[in-house]
């Protein structure tokens, strides 16, 4: 494995950065970093490999450097799902308390939406 440079944060990881297994075999390149940046949560990496896109979970990432990422020994790459799960709630999904319902009715009456 070549010199990977200084360690960096996942926020600075560039697309196209090589990804290696623990033994130094090149697996592919970073296609996407999956994270919830506003909560500082690193979820994992989508890799561009010769077998197509593969996903490496965050806990399987051992080190992130300027010029390469190293996965932990025994890390497995998964095929990314076609449609990632989406969690959402609609107004009808939420139960309102009596107070909330009363205030909503009052607001609708005051605003002319009755």
- SS3 assignment, position 95: coil
pLDDT tens-digit map of 42-97? 889 999 999 999 999 999 999 999 999 999 998 989 887 665 544 444 555 556 67
pTM: 0.68
What tokens appear for 94 in the block? 């939420």
Asked whether residue 107 carries a pLDDT value surpassing 90, the answer given is no
Identify the pLDDT of residue 13.
93
Q: What b/e sequence results for 71-103 when a residue is b if at least 16 CB atoms lie within 10 Å of its CB, and e otherwise?
A: beeebebeebeeeeeeeeeeeeeeeeeeeeeee
The pLDDT of 5-20, averaged and rounded, is 94
Residues 20-43 pLDDT 10s: 999 999 999 999 998 887 788 888
CATH 2.30.30.240 fits 1-81, yes or no: yes
């Amino acid at each position: 494995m070549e010199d990977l440079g200084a360690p960096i944060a996942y926020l600075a990881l560039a697309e196209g950065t090589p990804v290696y297994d623990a033994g130094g075999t090149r697996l592919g390149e970073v296609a996407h970093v999956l994270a919830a940046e506003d909560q500082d949560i690193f979820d994992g990496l989508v890799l561009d490999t010769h077998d197509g896109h593969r996903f490496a979970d965050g806990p399987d990432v051992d080190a992130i450097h300027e010029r390469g990422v190293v996965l932990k020994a025994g890390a497995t790459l998964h095929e990314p799902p076609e449609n990632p799960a989406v969690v959402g709630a609609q107004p009808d999904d939420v139960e309102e308390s009596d107070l909330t319902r009363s205030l909503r009715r009052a607001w609708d009456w005051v605003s002319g939406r009755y």
